[in-house]
Structure 1
Amino acid sequence: MFNKRDYERLPISLSLSICDLYGQDNIKISNLDAPITVNDISETGIGFISECVLPENYYFNARLDFTLSETPIITVVKIIRSEAIDNEHFQYGGEFENSPIDIYDILARYA
């Protein structure tokens, strides 16, 4: 995927599961149980891979647990781009909608 981010990406390996997606106008896709693997992170968002087809411009709640932080980061992620890697995997770009202040300190420790 072409790097369109303004901030440096840091490689990371986090496993999450998306349960619900939210769109504009109160549209909700429930009970997805879509596992994702976060493969990079920046101050403004994440890159992740999933076997599920996820719609762009939808939002999900994310809890990011870091080994260097006692407190998890809870944020909302907007899916801003997607690209098929192969027939079974998709690469996504997600943007933090309410970028938590703690993310800057945590990423500085990883850099």
Structure 2
Amino acid sequence: MGYSSDGGPWVGRVLETLLNDERTAPDRATGKAVSGGLWISAGYTGHGMPVAARCGVAVAQMMSGRHDGVQVPKQWMATDGRAQAARSAVLPRTLDDLIRQLPAE
């Protein structure tokens, strides 16, 4: 299974900041440097497989330049802000750690 540090899938074009690679190109929509041809739809954290097929369709449409097709939540998109938050995330090592991280009711 593929797990993500924030529990949500990662969907979209892989950004330059996520690579140790020199091959980048500007994104047509944002102008930001992005990987030339690397896209992602992964990290469903075990229970997210029901959304995998639609995320795959969304990525295929993004790759072809279509932005009016299947939409995924913005929180799932691969962005610099999300990558930065993932780098500083503290993952629980035990069940007790996980329970302590849950929001209070």
Q: Decide: shared fold, TM above 0.5.
A: no
Which gives a bigger RCO, structure 1 or 2 (Cα 8 Å, sep 6+)?
2
Query: Who wins on radius of gyration, i.e. which is larger?
Result: 2
Give the alignment's TM-score, normalised by structure 1. 0.25
Which structure has more strand as a fraction of its residues? 1
Which structure has more helix as a fraction of its residues? 2
Give the alignment's TM-score, normalised by structure 2. 0.26
